[in-house]
Amino acid sequence: MLGKYNEAIDAYKKSIILDPYDSTNQATRDAIERDQIKLGQPEKAIKTNDKAIKIIRMIQMLDTTKGVALHRLNKDEDAFKAFDKANELNPQNSKAWNAKKTLST
C-alpha cells in the first residue's frame, strides 16, 4: 500500500510542474500529506509540502522574470499577464506586484 502513495506523490510532483495553476494539484497534495500523517509518516508529509512550496516559488519567480522580459520587449499586456500568474501563485509576491505597479504608472 505504501508504494501506491509514493507513486501518487511522484504523479503530484509531475502535475504541479506541468500546471502549477491547477487548484486540483493543491487539493491532491493536501490529501497525500494527510495520508502520510495517518500512516505515521509526518516527516514525509513535511518534505512533500516543502518540495511543493519550492516548486511553486520557483515557477512564481520565473513568471515574474518573464513579465520583466516581456516589458523590455514592449509587450506590456503580456507582461501584465505574467505578473498576474505570479501573483496568483503567491499573492504576497512583492516583486511581481511592484513590477506590475511600475508598468501601470
- pTM for this model (two decimals): 0.59
Q: Which domains does the chain have, with CATH numbers?
A: 2-104 (1.25.40)
The CA distances from residue 44 to 18, 83, 86, in Å, are 22, 32, 27
Q: In the structure grid, which three cell numbers stand for residue 1, read together?
A: 500500500
pLDDT digits (tens, 9 = 90+) for 24-76: 777 777 777 787 788 888 888 888 788 877 877 788 888 889 999 999 999 99
| Pick from 94, 92, 64, 95: nearest CA to 80 | 64
The pLDDT tens digits for 78-97 are: 998 998 888 887 777 778 87
pLDDT of residue 22 exceeding 80, the answer is no
* pLDDT for the residue numbered 35: 77
Q: What is the pLDDT of residue 66?
A: 92
